[in-house]
Amino acid sequence: MKMRLKLKKSANLLLACLTALPLMLTPTNVSAASDANINLASEKQLIKGFGGINHPAWIGDLTAAQRETAFGNDQNQLGFSVLRIYVDPDRNNWSREVATAKRAIEKGAIVFASPWNPPSDMVETFNRNGDTNAKRLKYDKYAAYAQHLNDFVTYMKNNGVNLYAISVQNEPDYAHDWTWWTPQEMLRFMKENAGSINNTKVMAPESFQYLKNMSDPILNDPQALANMDILGAHTYGTQIKDFAYPLFKQKGAGKELWMTEVYYPNSDNNSADRWPEALDVSYHMHSAMVEGDFQAYVWWYIRRQYGPMKEDGTISKRGYNMAHFSKFVRPGYVRVDATKNPDTNTYVSAYKGDNKVVIVAINRGTSATSQRFVLQNGNASTVSSYVTDSSRNLASLAPINVSNGAFTAQLPAQSVTTFVANLSGGTGGGNVGTGTTYEAETGTTLTDAVIETLYPGFTGSGYVNFNAYTGSAIQWNNINNTITGTKNVKFRYAQESGTRNLDIYVNGTKVLSNEPFTATGSWSTWGEKTIQVPMNAGVNTLRIVTTGTEGPNIDNITVTAAS
């Protein structure tokens, strides 16, 4: 019965989607054909990843092979790096979520959870616009509900799944088949109760259509905002012109912005391979990244006849369109400025990380086009490329030579092409380019941590090794900024194996809890991890503290502004 809920949504949203469609499909900033300039020094949002939901309670669990297809990043795999799971109101069913979530984490993904309903004893019915069976959380059960969410986080952790985040409610403003929340009810919970949810980030409000009346009150209330780590939104029928959120840019420093559910453009049976309709998926992802500045893009069901994976476990045309982002734009990459619409039907976005630049170019026109790409503040010698069109799926093309920082490529009719190049010189060498680097061994205050030079490859005069204590810390005391706002902080660190978590404090206030640092492969292999935090103009402190028994070896941090 529950698996029909989304089909009900399709019917109810049809009018809204049809109304929005002309605007969604019409370029809003058309210009004459021009170069696509990729400015590697102009950084935008930090990317957390791409993925979808696994929902064994409604449509059955992914099989072992399907988990590999979803979260692996080899040939004929999607490379998903985000998994959404279901918080069942009945804790006896929580075990259903464990197997796929564990495997996703083992493959490098992060996992977050969303509830549709509280436990039945916390729910009451009320009259909502004549519907006397509408459901809501009892007003005297808010604290108990927060504990319910805490219990789910603890259960998953005890079963090997450290949740990255938990949502307060799935679609509180489209709850015909689940639990309604008004904006004021959501605000009250975020102010009074969300702060008691421990050991994971808190997401809200997951409006079904990115309706700002659900999230504006949170952004405008300092206490509620302090208790929200991620602003989650769904974009069913949302017009692209409404993807931008100026109030979030104004108030959301240090917070994350995720698109946490959609299917696009429809949920027709067996529509996953329909072409060129499937090309709309990559166009929608482009718009979410470029117009909405979203840091994550999460599909509805991973496996469905209209999803990225078909019911037989093979990747669909829609899935290959998602893979043009998910396989190449990895967690920790940063979107950089690019000419977003260099020709009438051409759409471009660009990203950097791991000493690479990734460019995703979409040609929605019915004719092939020639497009010139210009790399600014960075260079490369050759470019690899991969194309999906009516007859090909992520097909590898011949390398393209870069001359004087530019290359020209043919974009086939109705296609998406991803270009990948190793960077040489300029500001694109890592996840974050220009900025100020602060060594861990100088200008810092160390608590139960020591300076070492045992493993090679460090910068400066050494690196810092946390002693095996909870509460060991490094504090940088003189981070200078010219303006207040969100900053990218890139850690250069080494860790042989496993995942180690750190709490992050800015100017004495905890801004991130249990931030995971994953293995780099050896103590002499230095990797990078970028986080985003709020900082003030002038001098700031940044403190990182172990939460288990140990942390990674820290070489340095690089701080830049996030535009």
In whole angstroms, give the CA distance from residue 559 to residue 540: 11
Give the H or E element holding residue 103: helix 98-106
CB atoms within 10 A of CB 420: 17
List Cα–Cα distances, 147 to 119, 142, 150, 193, in angstroms. 11, 9, 5, 9
- At 19 the three-state DSSP class reads helix
Q: Which of 43, 206, 256, 261 is catalytic?
A: 261
- Which residue type occupies 52? G
Which token pair is 14?
Answer: 């049809």
Residue with tokens 């998406």: 416
Residue pair 436/480 in contact by the 8 Å Cβ criterion = yes
Q: Is 185 a catalytic residue?
A: no
CA 196 to chain centre: 24
Residue with tokens 């603890």: 154
Q: Is 515 a catalytic residue?
A: no
Which token pair is 237?
Answer: 């029928």
DSSP state of 195: G
List Cα–Cα distances, 205 to 171, 229, 260, 295, in angstroms. 7, 11, 10, 16
Residue pair 552/529 in contact by the 8 Å Cβ criterion = no
Q: Which of 43, 171, 256, 528 is catalytic?
A: 171
In whole angstroms, give the CA distance from residue 4 to residue 508: 48
Residue pair 552/499 in contact by the 8 Å Cβ criterion = no
List Cα–Cα distances, 392 to 2, 78, 284, in angstroms. 36, 16, 20
Residues forming the active site: 171, 261
